[in-house]
Structure 1
């Protein structure tokens, strides 16, 4: 039996944002519900658990509602929301993982030119459980670099770490992902 899906109602974003600016709870609920799936998918990538993801998501939406006066409607709302979600995830880790350990290698300079290539992954593979097995610092750098396409100098500035630390954490994250994928099933990735 096939699942029945209801067509998603179009959201009059301009009207909803105006209502949110006025503190209208129905508008806030509409905005939250409309962007929930998109926002949760981002939060889940950065979080170690679903509970953490929900906390990051809720913190982000509180920031959205409080900061709507800073939103420039000439830019896509999703882009603005994504930025807030990522910053909320980073803030969460700063607050809850005060001892985040970013690997600083003395020999990290050699990583500047040679980064470990990403494993080739089965596109049907659900990567969330595997990403969650990475340490918070590796997961954070991996997501910022691979998923958000930040440069190492941007990650370093954002997280208050050195560029070489960002690079070394990315390399370690990729090595760990490769090992986790091989452990799960050697048929999911191709060796380099």
Structure 2
């Protein structure tokens, strides 16, 4: 994306964002810092969903921003910049997942496969509560759950992105949902005990 293409940047980008993108293309550290600050919250909200804890989310976020800055010339100015950042953060989180896959199998098998049930979820959860429950899933379940439920990927796309069979994607999604139902049950039981 050269300077002449900045004029084509989507209408959703403000003049300030255009100026920041132009500065980042010129390797201006101050422009990079400001762009990082501008998109930090949005990018972190994506990274935290795919990470087991805040530290891993920050690593994914920083790796993602490194890709944003080094690949900025590949950005299509006819599309929203925010969507481009989102795609990079998701792909960086998936790269992190694939890189750490061998370590993820060390989780306790009993916590990874609860029996499915028909628990009806009626309680309201805050966003932080929900993210905490999703982060409690095993990495394989968390990745599939996030991609399918939150980011709208199909099982075929998940299969390709994670290098797993379509059936494995469907199975992991079912098990992730079962794990979340079990966690919700436990949270509801603990809440009832506290109210007694």
TM category (shorter chain) comes to 0.7 to 0.9
Say if 1:11 and 1:34, in contact at 8 Å, map to a contact too: no
Say if 2:144 and 2:173, in contact at 8 Å, map to a contact too: yes
Count of aligned residue pairs for this structure pair: 165
Aligned match of 1:174: 177
Return 178-187 or 138-147, whichever deviates more.
178-187
Aligned match of 1:84: 88
Report the aligned-residue RMSD.
2.2
Say if 1:138 and 1:170, in contact at 8 Å, map to a contact too: yes
1:82-161 correspondence to structure 2 within 5 Å: 82-98=86-102, 100=104, 119=121, 122-124=124-126, 126-161=129-164
Distance 1:91 1:13 in 2: 28
Sort the Cα spacing of 1:11 and 1:50 in 2 relative to 1 into closer, same or farther, 3 A. farther
Question: How many Å apart are 1:132 and its aligned residue?
Answer: 1.4
Distance 2:120 2:78 in 1: 36
TM-score, with length taken from structure 1: 0.80
Unaligned runs of 5+ in 2: 1-13, 106-117, 192-196
Question: How many Å apart are 1:131 and its aligned residue?
Answer: 1.0
SS, match of residue 102 in structure 2: coil
Aligned match of 2:23: 19
Say if 2:32 and 2:69, in contact at 8 Å, map to a contact too: yes
More helix by share: 2
Distance 2:81 2:141 in 1: 29
Aligned match of 1:66: 70
Whether 1:183 aligns to 2:152 is no
Q: Deviations over 1:41-80 (max 9, x none)?
A: 1111110010000000000000000000110111011110
Unaligned runs of 5+ in 1: 1-9, 102-115
Q: Deviations over 1:18-55 (max 9, x none)?
A: 11011000000010000000111111111001000000
Sort the Cα spacing of 1:172 and 1:54 in 2 relative to 1 into closer, same or farther, 3 A. same
TM-score, with length taken from structure 2: 0.78
Whether 1:39 aligns to 2:43 is yes
Question: How many Å apart are 1:96 and its aligned residue?
Answer: 2.0
SS, match of residue 164 in structure 1: helix
Question: How many Å apart are 1:100 and its aligned residue?
Answer: 4.8
Distance 1:20 1:66 in 2: 9
